[in-house]
Amino acid sequence: MELRDMKTFVEVARLLNFQRAGLALNAAQSTVSARIASLEAELGVRLFERTGHRVALTDVGAGLLNYVRKIIALENEALTWAAGESKTLGTLNIRTPEYLCAHRMGGVIRRFRQRFPQVSLDFTASTYESLAKDLRQGISDLAFLLAESIQSADLVAESLGVERLVLVAGPEHRLAAFPRVTPEDLRGETLVLSKEDCAYRRILENIMDTSGISTGSSVEFSSSAALCGCVANGVGVSLLPERAVREQLAAGRIVALAWSEGELETAVQMVRHRDKWLSPPLVAFMDMARQELLGQA
């Protein structure tokens, strides 16, 4: 198998779109199709199902993807060793919650880009359920997660501090006038939640489940800005990282409710696969994340 064809296969598998893969590879769509056809002919299998404009990996394609990623990673490792750090190329695929990327990773990204200008950074939202699988298969090189612990023997998790969480509502919400808010006060209340599989959403849901209290129907958003706007307009309550809503709190657009059960917080975890080869750029990114995030704790 040609490395060029394998890299094309990985891009099509990542984007599930031949035209967008061509743009990412600076190649015509016809060239991408020809490379995939060549790879399928050489292997004697179908790697993708094409139904109209929809593209999906076959079972064989999904299984092959893991091996191809390892081959490409090995090539990158060899090039890194031969060329030295200053000429390092490639991409780091990092999973991180939107909140961390927006509010705490800016300094890390800036410093990394200064040191490794030719290394691309590809960030995707971190979801707890698929995280272990992506790290095992090499789809992601590194992940950050808001969670107390990771239950997986082949993953290495390192705590980088804690995030303080606040229960928030709009200034005109009925609970804004309560001197203390108890779990019972949330009975029948609308919960405004992130669609992400995030720690603070699970914490709020677990509080209600443990207390045996039923809330009203929830309202879910994929955008944190839309979520905060909904809370500010009095639709319901939400649990969010305090750093993420400091400006809204200071401006009085939302208020922090006095939670009767004490401080709410979650850990920040940096996670990688136990057997992952730590390239110089990856080691540097991890070191920068430690310095930045622990320094902000």
Distance in angstroms (rounded) separating the CA atoms of residues 49 and 60? 11
CATH 3.40.190.10 domain range(s) in the chain:
164-264
1-83 CATH, one of 3.40.1190.20, 3.40.50.300, 1.10.3720.10, 1.10.10.10: 1.10.10.10
| pLDDT at 85 > cutoff 60 | no
Q: What pLDDT, on the 0 to 100 scale, is given for residue 75? A: 79
The total of other beta-carbon atoms located within 10 Å of residue 209's CB is 11
Domain with CATH 1.10.10.10 in the chain: 1-83
Q: Indicate the pLDDT class of residue 166, thresholds 50, 70 and 90.
A: very high
Count other C-beta atoms under 10 Å from residue 121's C-beta: 16
Mean of pLDDT values over 270-280: 87
pLDDT at 103 over 70: yes
For the record, the structure tokens of 271 come out as 């996670």
Report the percentage of the chain scoring pLDDT > 70. Answer: 93
pTM for this model (two decimals): 0.67
pLDDT higher for 277 or 175?
175
Q: For 126-145, b where at least 16 C-beta lie within 10 A, e where not — what string?
A: bbbeebbebbbbbbbbbbbb
Confidence tier at 167 by pLDDT (50, 70, 90)? very high
* pLDDT at residue 138, rounded to an integer: 80
Q: Using the predicted structure, report yes or no on whether residue 29 has a pLDDT greater than 80.
A: yes
Residue 86's pLDDT is 47
Mean per-residue pLDDT, 201-215: 84
The stretch 64-82 carries a mean pLDDT of 78
Mean pLDDT of 262-283: 88
Of 156-160, 176-180, 200-204, the poorest mean pLDDT is in: 200-204
Ranges of H-type helices in the chain: 3-15, 18-25, 29-43, 59-83, 98-103, 106-115, 128-137, 199-211, 224-232, 246-251, 280-296
What CATH fold (topology level) applies to the domain 164-264? Answer: D-Maltodextrin-Binding Protein; domain 2 (3.40.190)
**pLDDT at residue 214, as a whole number:** 84
pLDDT at 99: 82
* pLDDT digit string, tens, across residues 1-15: 788 888 899 999 988
